[in-house]
Copies of this chain bind each other. A is one copy, B any other.
Amino acid sequence: MKIGLMGFGVVGRGVYEIVSKREDMQVTKVLCLEDISLPDAQAVKDFSKIVNDPEIDTVVEAMGGLHPAYDFVRAALEAGKNVVSSNKALVCTFYDELLPLVEKMGVKFRCTAAVGGGIGWLSELERSRRVQNIVQVGGIMNGTCNYILDNMTRFGLGYDEALRQAQALGYAEFNPSTDVDGIDTWHKVILSSNIAFGVSLDKDSVPVAGIRNISAADVENFKNHGLVCKLMATGRRENGVCSAYVQPTLVKAGALEAAVPMNFNLITFRGETSDQMSFYGQGAGRYPTAYNVVQDLVDVASGKGFYAPYGAGVQAANDEKMTYYVRGGWEGGVAETWPGAVLTQAVSVREMHAWLKEHPDAFAAAVV
Which one, A159-167, A282-290, A316-324, A342-350, is touching chain B? A282-290
Inter-subunit contact B277/A118 (CB<8 Å): yes
- Judge if A239 is at the interface, Cβ distance under 8 Å: no
For A119, the chain B residues whose CB sits under 8 A away are 277
Instruction: Give 1 or 0 for each of A129-150: 1 = CB within 8 Å of chain B CB.
Output: 0111000000000000000000
One complex includes copies of this chain to the number of 2
Nearest CB in chain B to that of A254: its residue: B259
Inter-subunit contact A281/B275 (CB<8 Å): yes
- Judge if A273 is at the interface, Cβ distance under 8 Å: yes
- Judge if A183 is at the interface, Cβ distance under 8 Å: no
For A94, the chain B residues whose CB sits under 8 A away are none
Task: A18 to B271: give the CA distance in the assembly, Å.
Answer: 13
Inter-subunit contact A295/B127 (CB<8 Å): yes
Task: A274 to B280: give the CA distance in the assembly, Å.
Answer: 12
Inter-subunit contact B274/A131 (CB<8 Å): no
For A288, the chain B residues whose CB sits under 8 A away are 273-275
- State the main secondary structure of chain A at its contact with B: mixed
Inter-subunit contact B279/A279 (CB<8 Å): yes
Instruction: Give 1 or 0 for each of A244-285: 1 = CB within 8 Å of chain B CB.
Output: 000000000011101111000000000101111111111001
Min CB–CB distance A237 → chain B (angstroms)? 19
Inter-subunit contact B131/A294 (CB<8 Å): yes
For A258, the chain B residues whose CB sits under 8 A away are 259
- Judge if A58 is at the interface, Cβ distance under 8 Å: no
- Judge if A46 is at the interface, Cβ distance under 8 Å: no
